[in-house]
Structure 1
Amino acid sequence: MSTTRRFTQLDVFTAEPLKGNPLAVVHDAQGLSDAQMAAFARWTNLSETTFLLPPTQAGADYRVRIFTPDRELPFAGHPTLGSCHAWLAAGGRAQREGEVVQECGVGLVRVRRDGTRLAFAAPPLRRSGEVDAATLAQIARCLKIPRDAIRASNWVSNGPHWVAVMLGSREELLALQPDFAAMGELELGVVAPWPGGAADVEVRAFVPTLGVQEDPVTGSLNAGLAQWLIAAGMMPPRYVASQGTAMGRAGRVHVEQRDGDIWIGGDSVALVEGRVSL
């Protein structure tokens, strides 16, 4: 027998509706099976759908499970911010003043208010360091660019298995038309500088393994990129990333290194609120 549950659909990493990355949130998801969650995520056909549950770990305010149309993720960025926004809007109260603690597959993730927006503390990288020559050659093939067009690279895996490369210009980045079949199992982030632009860098995320070819705005990727780029001295401790331009979006990711943590912030806007029968 189905039960009606509170439902919210938001646009994340934007203050302007329809310009960010959409997220579906099912509240009070107790009693739903893994199969039901996966089926609903396939039905929404969004890059991610989340399910809010009571926490199971001490110190957590709520637990979230994150599903793509294809599989469950241990962590993702825009679902973290959007889920927290929806939880707070539904009356959620954190145990600690000014900070919400989310439980998810990678453990506990802290979320704080940053003015009018929320920001999460980037989780530790599960894999970092140099990218091997064979993988770089594959990346160049699937992006259909010369190998020497890749100016820098690094593994930035933090749940999703991100590998990242930097190109020389935003124009090169926006011109990319990848061969997704050649991408295989790669989850690929591409970044390029945007001197004098509306943001400091432009980002694109190609993730055919998740059932979507390109993700509009990607918190987990930007978290990994920030840890790499700031540590390498390639970006300052505070910067703004633009993402989604190639898809007609205008996502903005606000990055700040503070007190030993890297915070990934963004606005969220609720577009649909109601109840869903599951």
Structure 2
Amino acid sequence: MDGGGKPQHAEHLVQECAAGLVTVRRGEDTLSFAAPPRVRAGVLDDDYLKRIVSAFGVTRERVVTHQRVDDGPGWAVLQLSTAEEVLALEPDLALIPDAMVGANGVCPEGSEYAFELRAFAPGAGVPEDPGCGSMNATVGRWLTSTDPRALRLPGLAGREGRTGSEYPRARSSRSRRKRTG
């Protein structure tokens, strides 16, 4: 569209990326997509986890859990206890120059949002990605399969192949999902 092309359908377009063809749906003032399936999942190996922990400047004890949420680019994510810990990160990306990593943490009860997410992509030449759809989408899949708070989010049903706004969307320099109920 910005490149001069015209979509065949007003309500959606298909984007080709490393993960394959992704349908992007156009809403009134939003764009949303179905997360592609993960190409790799599971916990991180100890050496890679140690490198990320060191780069993030946290101790291993502060990591609640960790996961590969790789839908093509190679994302790895650490879950910290709180959103505040995620917001306080000042990673030394020189320690992980080829990495595609993120962090998420739970927002306090009563907050407008349930989770705080941040994506760092030095491996793609992007220190911090303010709106990383691929990481946010696969974190959404991961959270809905492991954290009951995520199941209360609008549309997050934790099933492969969901579409639309089921997955965390970017806002500001970080991604947040509104809390419900």
- What is the rounded CA distance, in whole Å, between the counterparts of 1:129 and 1:203 in structure 2? 19
Q: CA, structure 1 residues 235+103, in 2 after alignment: closer, same or farther (shift >3 Å)?
A: same
Alignment of 1:6-45 (within 5 A): 25-28=2-5
Deviation of the 1:193 alpha carbon = 0.8
1:256 aligns with 2:156: yes
Alignment check: 8 A CA contact 1:219 1:264 kept: no
The match for 2:103 is 190
Paired residue for 1:162? 75
Q: 1:26 Cα shift?
A: 2.5
The structure carrying a bigger strand percent of its residues is: 1
Bigger radius of gyration, 1 or 2? 1
C-alpha contact 1:256 1:264 (8 A) present in aligned 2: no
What's the CA shift string for 1:155-208, capped at 9, x where partnerless?
001111100110111111111111111113221110011132222111111111
**Alignment partner of 1:201 out of 115, 127, 134:** 115
- What is the count of residue pairs matched by the alignment? 167
Task: Report Cα offsets for 1:3-54 as digits up to 9, x if no partner.
Answer: xxxxx7xxxxxxxxxxxxxxxx4335xxxxxxxxxxxxxxxxxxxxxxxxxx
Stretches of structure 1 that go unaligned for 5 or more consecutive residues are: 1-7, 9-24, 29-90, 241-254, 268-278
Q: Deviations over 1:140-161 (max 9, x none)?
A: 1001111110001100011111
Higher relative contact order (CA 8 A, sep 6+): 1
Aligned AA for 1:221? Answer: M
> Which position in structure 2 is the counterpart of 1:93?
8
Output the CA distance in 2 between the equivalents of 1:115 and 1:140: 40
Letter of the 1:181 counterpart = A
Change (3 A) 1:212 1:107: closer
What residue number does 1:239 align with?
Answer: 153
Structure 2 length normalisation: TM-score? 0.79
Instruction: Name the amino acid aligned to 2:157.
Output: Q
8 Å contact kept, 1:150–1:167: yes
Gaps of at least 5 residues in structure 2 are 171-181
**Pair 1:92–1:238, CA change in 2 (3 A):** farther
Summarize the alignment of residues 221-236 of structure 1 with structure 2, pairs less than 5 Å apart.
221-236=135-150
Change over 3 Å in CA distance of 1:139–1:201 after alignment to 2 = same
**SS state of the match for residue 261, structure 1?**
coil
The 1:199–1:237 alpha-carbon spacing in structure 2 relative to 1, beyond 3 Å, is same
Partner secondary structure for residue 178 of structure 1: coil
Identity across aligned pairs (percent)? Answer: 33
**Superposition RMSD in Å:** 2.7
Contact persistence 1:257–1:263 (CA under 8 A): no
Q: Distance in 2 between matches of 1:141 and 1:27?
A: 44
- Distance in 1 (CA, whole Å) between partners of 2:77 and 2:55 is 13
